[in-house]
A and B are shown apart, each in its own frame.
Chain A
Amino acid sequence: MARRMSPRPFREAGLIIGLLAIRIAVAAEPANDVLGQMEQAMADVRTVKTDFVQEKQMALFNHPLVTRGSIWVEPPHRLLWRVESPMRYALALDGSRIRQWDGETGKTTSLSMDGNPVFAAVTEQLNAWFGGRYGLLAQDYEVEQQAAAPATFTFVPKPTAPSAKMLESVTVVFREDARYIASIQIADRGGDVTTLTFVDTELNVPLDPKAWEL
C-alpha cells in the first residue's frame, strides 16, 4: 500500500521554497527598479504633512537625544521642518532660499544657497530623501532592498559620493501603502545612529503657503 505522504512536509517544503522564492525574487529584482516604482508611487504625492520623532544615539552624549516636531513637504523644492521640543526651531526651504527661525531668540534669518555649497548639499539631501527623488540618490548610493513589505531599502554611499566619508548607511522604511516614508535611520561612520519616525502622516492636504515665510 502506498503511503500517502503527509501534506505537512509539503507545506514545510512549500513554505521554505516560498520564502526562498521571496528572497530570490527580492534579490533578483534590481533595487533601482523597485525604487523607481516607489518613486512612481510617490509621484502623485503633491503635499506631505507629518509629525516626527527623532532619536539620536550619539557617543557624544550619555543619553539619546529625542526631538519632536513636524515636517511639511511640497516636492520638489519646498520643505518646512519644525522642531517643537526640546527646543523650538523652524527651517523653511523654498527653491534656493532658506529661512531659519530660532525659538530662543525669536529671530528669523534668511540666506541663499547661491555660493553656499555646504548648505546646498544638506538641502539637496533633505529634498531628495523627503521628496522621494530616489533616482537622484541612486547616483551616489548603492541601494539594496531589505524587505518587501513594508518596503525597506538600505542606501550605502558609493566611495566617490560626498557622503561616503560621513555615512555608513541610510535605511528607509516605507508605509504599507508605499506612498510615503514611515521612517529613516541614518548610521554614520562614527557609530552614531539617528532614527526619524513619521507619525500621523497626511498626504495631499492643503498646506498654508504662509507657513514658509516663518
Chain B
Amino acid sequence: MAGAFRDKLRQGLRRRPVVAGLVAAITLAAAAALPFRTFDGRIDVMLPDRSELRSVFGLLRDIEVADKVLVTLAMRDGSAAPETLAAAAETYVAGLDPAWAAPLATGFAAADVADDFAKLARRLPDYLSEADLRKLRDGAASTADVRAALQALKNRLQRPEGMWSAVAPGSDPLDWNGRLAAGLLHAVSSFGYRAVPVGNHLMDPERRHLLLVLQTPVPMTDVDGGRGLLAHLAARAAELPAPVEARIVCGHLHTAGNEAIIRRDIRRTALAVSAVFLALFWGAYRDPRAAGILLIPMLASVPALAAAAALFSSFSFIVLGFGSVIAGIAVDYGIHTYVAARSAQPDRNLSGIRRPVALSTLTTLCVFVAFCFSSIPAYRQLGAFASFAIVISLVYAFWALPPFVRRRVSPVPEPPLVAPAAGSRARAAGIAGGAILVLAVGVGLLARLALDPDVSKLDGTPQAVLDEETRAMAVWGGGPSRAAILVVEAPDENEALRLNDRLYAELQAAGLPAAEITSLAPLWPSAETRQTRRAAWNETWTDARIAELRRIAVQEAAALDFSEQAFAAFWERFAEWRDVAAEPESAGFLEPLRRQFVHARNGAVRATTFIPDEPDWIDAALRLRQEMPELRVISRRAFSADLSAQVIGEMRRTTIWAGIFILLVTGLALRRAGMLVMAALPAVAGMVWGGAGMALWGLSLNVSNLIAGILVFGLCIDYGICMAYAQRRGMRRDMFRAVTLSALTTALGAAVLLIADHPAFLSIGVTLVFGVSAGYLYAWLALPALQTLFPRLNPPDADVSKEGGA
C-alpha cells in the first residue's frame, strides 16, 4: 500500500506541470524573501572575525567621518567669490531635510571666539607644562625682561593688527595669554587643516572654496539610505546658482560606488555567462531545450541565496559576484543529466550517472563546506551560498530537468573531442616529461607571486570618488590620514583624557618631537593634569615673587607712558589664577577638535593621537603598550603584517579542512591509494598554474583570490577522480567528454569575471581560468601518460576488459 503510494507520488513528482509548479513556487517564495534580507558592499567582510583586525577596522570606522558629509562649494570658473559662496551655502543648508542631513553645529560662533580666548586666559596655569611655567617665570624675573615685554606690547598696538586686537591689552601686558593663544593656534594649525572662518562659514584662505560639514543619521553601511542621502544632496546641489558647484566627500559614496560597480559586474557577468553557455549548448546539442541546462543553476541560485542570506545578518555583494563561477560549476550536473535523459535508454543512463555526478558534487561541496568553518565572514557566506546552490542544482538536475528533455530521434552530433589513449610508453614518457617541465615553470612563476594584505585594494570605489577625496584633501588639508593612530580607551572621558596626557608625555620622553604628535593633550588637558599644573603655578608664584613683579611692572610701565591703572585687569586675573579651582573650561572653538579626537561609543570613551607611521615610532608605541594596556596601536604597516599572518593562517586551516573532506570523500569512493595520487595530480597542477596565471597577469595574492586557489583544487580533483574512475571502469571516452564539457563550462563561467571592473573579481577570474584549464589538461594528457608509465597505480577492475560506456 505504502509502496503503491510512493510510486504514485514519484510518478506525480515527475509530471511536467507538477515539476514546473513546484520549481516556480520555490523560486517565487525565495525571491519574495530576498527584499527582507540585508545586502552590503563592505570590505571588512574579508577580515577574520573576533580578531584584533576586525575591531581595529570597526574602530577606524567609528573614529573617522562615518556619519559626516563634507560639501565643498566652489565657483565653476575657479574664481574667488566669497559672498556668492556664502549665499549659496545658505541656500544649500536651507533646503536640507534633517532626516537626511543637517549642518553640523561647529560648536562655536565666530562672534564668541574673543570670549573663548578670554575664558582660556582665565585658565592659563592649566595649559602650562612644567617647561612652559619655568620659561614664563624666568621671562618676568628682571627689570629688562618686563621692560622689553611692555615695549613689545606698545609696538604691537601701533601695528595694523593692533586695530583689531581681540585681547584687551591691559589684561596681558607680558603677553602670557598671547603666547598661550599662539601655542594653541599653532597646535591646531599643525593638524594640517586649511579652513578659516569667514563670517559664519569656513573657507579656504584663498576664498575660492566654502566648506559645509553635514551630519547624517544614515549609517554608511545602509545602502538604500545612502542612495537616498546622495539623491537628496544632489537635489540640493541642483538648486544652487548656476556658477556654483557642490562637491561631496563621504563614506556613503564608497558604499554606493562599490555597490553600483558590483551590481553592474553581476549583471554583465550573468548576461555574459548566459550567452556563452547558450551558444555552447546550442553548438553541442542543436536543441532549444538545452537552454534548460542553463536554467538549472539560475533557478537554484534564488533559493540558495535566500537560504544563505537568512544565515547572516548582512550578506556581501562581493560574494554574490561569484554567481557566474558557481553557475559554471553547477551547470555540469544539468549537462550530465541532459545527455543521459536524451539518450536511447534514459532511465538506465540517468541511473548510471548518478554515482559519479554525486561524487563530483561531493568533492566540490567539500571545498565550500570547508569555507563554512572559516573565521572570515565572506568565506562563510560563499561557502553557504555555493553549497546551497550546488545541492539545489543537483536536485533540480536529477529531478526537474529530465521530464523536459525530449529523447533524441537522430544521433547527437559528436563533439570533435579525442579521448585520451594509453599510447606507447615513449609517447607517455614524453608527455610526462612535458608535464613536469610545465609544472616546474608554473612553480617558478608561482614563486614570484606576493601576498598583498591591503584590504583597501578590494574596495571597488570608482576612481571619480577617490579623485574627489584627493581634491578635497588638497583644498582643506590632508589631516593625519596617513599617520598611525594611537587610541587610549577608558570608561569615561576624564580617564581617557588622563591616559591621553600620559601618552603624549611618554611619546615625547621616547624621543618623538612634540611637532610630530597630533594630540588633543596640549589643547584639552585632563582634570588631573590641570590640578597638577595649578599646584605647580601656586608653588612658583609666591606672594613675594608677585610683589616683586608688580613693583617692576609699575616702574617700567610709567617709563613707557602707560597710565597708572593700565594693568588693573591683569592683576585681577593674577588673583584668579591662584584662587580659582582647576576645572575644564569649555572653549567653543576647540569643541570641534575635541569631537574629532574623543569618541564615545558603546560605554567606552576613546581618545586618539596621530603619529608618523614610521617603524621607530610604532616600536616606541608598542613598547608603551606594555605599560599601558589601554593603548592600542593602529598602523597600516602593522595592520598589513597582522593581516598577512592571519590570512595565511586562515587559508592553511581552510585548506586542511577542505583537503581532509576531499580525501575522505575521494578515498571512500575510490578506495585505492594509487587512484588518489593520480586524482590529486590535476588538482596540484591546477593550483600551481592558477597562481602562475596571476603572476603572468601581474596580479598579487589577496584575501579575496586566495579562496580561488582552494576552489581550483576542489574542481580539478574532480577531473582527476573522473578520469581515474573512468580508467578503472573502462569508461574513458564518455567520461572524457563529460569532463571536457565540465571544465569548459567552469572555465567559461570564471572567464566572464575577466570583464568585471571590481578588483576582487578579476583576480579570481584569472586564477580559475588558468587553474581549471591546467587541471583539465593534466587530467586529459598527463594522467593517461602516468597510467601507461605506472600501470600498477590504477589497474582496471577485473570485470572490465574493454572500453565501455554508460
Chain A positions near chain B (C-beta within 8 angstroms):
54, 56, 58-63, 65, 67, 76, 81, 83, 86-87, 89, 91, 95-96, 112-122, 124-126, 135-136, 139-140, 159-167, 186, 190, 194, 196
Contact = CB atoms under 8 A, between A and B. Distances in A.
Given A114-B194, A162-B197, A65 B185 contact: no
A115 B163 contact: no
A117 B710 CA distance: 58
Given A166-B165, A190-B168, A58 B157 contact: yes
B188 to A, nearest CB: 6
Interface in B174-201: 181, 185, 188-194, 196-200
Interface stretch (B111-119, B240-248, B503-511, B643-651): B111-119
29 contacts: A59-B563, A59-B565, A59-B566, A60-B562, A60-B563, A61-B561, A83-B159, A86-B158, A95-B206, A96-B206, A114-B194, A115-B185, A115-B190, A117-B185, A117-B197, A117-B589, A118-B113, A118-B185, A121-B196, A122-B160, A139-B83, A140-B199, A159-B111, A161-B111, A162-B113, A165-B114, A166-B165, A166-B166, A186-B163
B111 A120 contact: no
Interface string B61-94: 0000000000000000000101100100000000
Nearest to A124: B198
B171 to A, nearest CB: 11
Nearest to A104: B155
A199 to B, nearest CB: 17
A160 B164 contact: no
A96 B205 contact: yes
B480 interface: no
Interface of B: 80, 82-83, 86, 109-115, 154-155, 157-166, 168-170, 181, 185, 188-194, 196-200, 205-206, 477, 561-563, 565-566, 589
A60 B566 contact: yes
B206 A115 contact: no
B189 to A, nearest CB: 3
Given A65-B154, A65-B157, A87-B155, A113 B561 contact: no
A2 B535 CA distance: 97
Contacts of A89: 155, 158-159
Contacts of A161: 110-111
A61 B111 contact: no
Given A58-B169, A60-B566, A166-B164, 20 more contacts: A56-B157, A61-B562, A61-B566, A62-B563, A67-B158, A87-B155, A89-B155, A89-B158, A91-B159, A95-B205, A115-B193, A118-B166, A118-B185, A120-B198, A122-B160, A161-B110, A166-B166, A167-B164, A190-B168, A194-B162
B198 A165 contact: no
Nearest to A81: B160
Nearest to A79: B160
A60 B205 contact: no
B477 A162 contact: no
B189 A116 contact: yes
A132 to B, nearest CB: 14
A186 B197 CA distance: 22
Contacts of B566: 59-61
A173 B768 CA distance: 81
A160 B562 CA distance: 33
B189 A115 contact: yes
B82 A114 contact: no
B196 A62 contact: no
A165 B115 contact: yes
Contacts of B83: 135-136, 139
